[in-house]
Structure 1
């Protein structure tokens, strides 16, 4: 790939270049991100650049990369802080997949560092105001770079996507019915970034320096972006609802002060609910890329189990908070096994693998270390499912029966999901919510047992 980069970047700069330090960065479930330095043959100064390239199995097309380059130009014109585009390879002829090359922007993108490290304390004081101003600028961009099609109904879009997966998710059905019944008035369509959140912002000690990842930009309701910024997943454990850095009202005030249209907290909350549902469906989609073989990845596989987190968050929005019962304590690993098998038990073997992966994680930097951390979490998930799964399956069937659902297991969940969609259980919605919530928390007890103990 280095040769291809040297060719396309050299042509764009009008001088021969040599590529050095080509390094793949960690993260990125839908696109690969690489950093590198170009050294001009004429002795000019080195230049730090970043490559974004479509990942195998991603649904994005070559047109998406060409559109991203146009969007970044429109963003500059509207006053949105973005990296400078050096060159695009929309067909992937030179770089092996559709790609765009941009200038490197100094700063941090890892949200947990931004939200916790002392280095960014001053930035945290201004981030929510800067986010509101940046979104106001996004929403006044020229929309010529995005498809000039009528914005699709967002609730129907989510329902159709859920149906396409063929998986029953009663929690999402409850969310869809709430969203349908509590719609805010539609707004004139603007450019919507589609993924404006912590993790897609380059932040320095002075605050936001660049808005990244425009691959999901489209025409739509501008408040979608404000709601997405508030989704719990993008708070990374912070109690502050707006991106982990401020309140919803602070975000709205900054947005309006920078020229955005007036908006209510209830509107943002509705879009937060829809964004939570959307992120849950994206988790299913990412796992399907792995399961279908398009891109085998422990990261993508693990993301599938994060669906339950979004089910929990969506129920907290649409049904209100509920009592949080701690996850059951783990049994000693020596007891999690069955005859005729010898020790180590299955759980003890998994403990050993988890310990090894943790050692690898701590000793290997970058992407491999990140994936070792993910793999260790997967092993812990499997260990908990071996222990808790049989009792959880029995409890699920008992709960379904209490609602008059005759089928069991996954078939019973499908029957319940269909009944919720038809409205058959509307007169028992509180009871249904309790049943669905209990099952979601069983899933969380396996995939992420401490999740509902974190700040909302």
Structure 2
């Protein structure tokens, strides 16, 4: 365990000048990297870091290039953070960089509860600015995405993870059959969505304050960025507001084009909406693998690994239009039979519930900051286990997945769509029962809880 306050103080003296470190606290957000807020010499800052080289394994570029990209974006007038210093090996804190801290709201639920009137226009404008960053200012390490190769890599990962999730196989085959021709490359942020932006929520003068998390940036198709923030999962419950949970796609596209962005191609946008939903489904499975192989032993990884069910539900909602009308109107098969009420000694599920209740009653009220977040994640994990023990639902079907992946079976097969609908509903009810799209899918498909 390093002495982070001492090491960070020494770094700030060398970078900014003398001062006193105060308010050092780990922020709860960030799925992969640590973020630490602190004050120094009257200014507010954030340290973004990876504790060791293991955290950066497999990434196309490191924090030095990421920082250089953020500096280039800031210099081009994008609302990117202001980088003040980059960690070196001798600083003893791993890899990363320090930015000036922007004081604004990052919680999607709070932003979407009452978004500033200008927010959707701001989001379209800012993305157009990102896509217009001069190519010569982008670090050479920032890769160019080859969509064909990227899709093949996703397919390879799916097979490595067992190749046994039918809806993922269906999505891979659809993407292979609908690959768009290459587009003129621009800088793609790669993670442009609610949760990675900060917003000044003042009703009249508020708006987008800063764009965070540039670690997935690459050069590629502008439509990839346009689609990502419009995925159902990143609308955080406001699924009728198809652009970021804030407004309509038409409004968003108009704002983007008015600010100089490329003319939006709806078919290309649809491809990237499916592709990125598929990408996140496999990203969730990858999180589970990271826990299983010891690369990241946190409870958060295990829980995110079970969010694959959300993306399978969304993928089926996106792709079911490919099925014949008679199949889209077919009634669902019943769910598996529920277990009888327990008697006698406590069941495994009751023991798990007792531990979960104890965490909520005794531990969570006393926790603070990132610790409170971790307790909430642990309680969520135990909730999944409780529901899974009762339902006994599995998503794997290797034979069906292989048939869909090869194209030997399609959604035209009688009864297949209804079977897939029932499977994703039951799995999502176990893993993410509060997912907003689950209730919508039940209503649309005529299912009961």
Which TM-score bucket, shorter chain as reference? Answer: 0.7 to 0.9
Any conservation in 2 of the 1:425–1:432 contact (CA below 8 Å)? no
Aligned to 1:406: none
Other-structure match for 1:401 = none
Indicate whether 1:425 and 2:428 are aligned. Answer: no
Of residues 178-187 and 93-102 in structure 1, the stretch that sits farther from structure 2 once superposed is 178-187
Report the equivalent of 1:104: 101
Q: Does 1:32 align with 2:34?
A: yes
Residues 20/233 of structure 1: CA separation in 2 closer, same or farther (3 Å cut): same
Following the alignment from structure 1 to structure 2, what is the Cα–Cα distance between the partners of residues 247 and 380? 34
Q: Quickly say closer, same or farther: Cα 1:193–1:280, change in 2 above 3 A.
A: same
* 1:10-29 alignment, distance < 5 Å: 10-13=13-16, 15-29=17-31
Name 1:315's counterpart in structure 2: 316
Distance 1:325 1:10 in 2: 66
Question: Does the 8 Å CA contact 1:280/1:310 hold for their aligned counterparts?
Answer: yes
SS class of match (1:319): helix
Residue number in structure 2 paired with 1:131: 123
Report the secondary structure of 2:91's partner residue.
coil
TM-score by length of 1: 0.85
CA–CA distance in structure 1, aligned partners of residues 248 and 33 of structure 2: 31
Q: Which moved more, 1:190-199 or 1:68-77?
A: 68-77
Paired with 2:214 and 2:319, the residues of 1 have a C-alpha distance of 29
Give the counterpart of 2:155 among 154, 159, 167.
159
Secondary structure of 1:384's aligned partner: helix
CA apart distance, 1:178: 1.6
Q: C-alpha distance in 2, partners of 1:155/1:368?
A: 37
- What's the secondary structure of 2:246's corresponding residue? coil
Structure 1 residues 289, 427: closer, same or farther in 2, change over 3 A?
closer
- Please tell me whether the aligned partners of residues 146 and 191 of structure 1 are also in contact (alpha carbons under 8 angstroms): no
Deviations 1:185-218 (A, max 9, x none): 4310111000000010011121111000000000
Partners of 1:327 and 1:445 within 8 A in 2: no
Distance 1:10 1:319 in 2: 58
Aligned match for 1:447, one of 431, 437, 440: 431
Greater CA deviation, 245-254 or 318-327?
318-327
Q: Secondary structure at the residue paired with 2:78?
A: coil
Other-structure match for 1:377: 380
Deviates more, 1:362-371 or 1:69-78: 362-371
Are 2:147 and 1:145 aligned?
Answer: no
- For the residues of structure 1 that align with 2:402 and 2:289, how far apart are their CA atoms? 22
Post-superposition offset of 1:283: 0.8
TM-score for both structures, normalised by structure 2: 0.86
How far apart, CA to CA, are the structure 1 residues paired with 2:133 and 2:411?
A: 46
Q: Distance in 1 between matches of 2:440 and 2:271?
A: 20
Query: Are 2:425 and 2:438, in contact at CA under 8 Å, matched by a contact in 1?
Result: no
Partners in 2 of 1:220 and 1:55 — Cα distance?
A: 30
Partner of 2:188: 192
Q: Cα distance, 1:228 vs. partner?
A: 0.3
| Structure 1 residues 108 and 51: alpha-carbon distance in aligned structure 2, compared to 1, 3 A threshold | same
Q: Which residue of 2 aligns with 1:343?
A: 345
Counterparts of 1:325 and 1:25, CA distance in 2: 45
CA offsets 1:244-279 (integer angstroms, 9 cap, x no match): 101111111011000001013333222111111111
For these two proteins, the number of residue pairs brought into alignment is 418
Q: What is the CA-CA distance between 1:331 and the residue it aligns to?
A: 6.6
Could you tell which deviates more after superposition, 427-436 or 276-285?
427-436
RMSD (CA atoms): 2.6
Structure 1 gaps, min length 5: 40-45, 397-409
Deviation at residue 158 of structure 1 after TM alignment: 2.2
Compared with structure 1, are the counterparts of its residues 453 and 171 closer, same or farther at alpha carbon in structure 2 (3 Å cutoff)?
A: closer
Give the superposition deviation at 1:289: 1.5
| Contact 2:61–2:141 (Cα < 8 Å) also in 1 | no
Q: In 1, distance between residues paired with 2:81 and 2:316?
A: 38
Moved more, 23-32 or 151-160: 151-160
Q: Give the 3-state SS of the residue equivalent to 2:213 in structure 1.
A: coil
- Give the SS at the match of 1:17: coil
| Equivalence for 2:212 | 212
Supply the distance in 1 between the matched residues of 2:265 and 2:315 (Cα, whole angstroms).
20
Structure 2 residue aligned with 1:288: 289
Q: For 1:20, what is the secondary structure of its paired residue?
A: strand
* Higher mean C-alpha displacement, 311-320 vs 362-371: 362-371
Instruction: Please give the alpha-carbon distance, in whole angstroms, between the structure 2 residues aligned to 1:324 and 1:426.
Output: 18
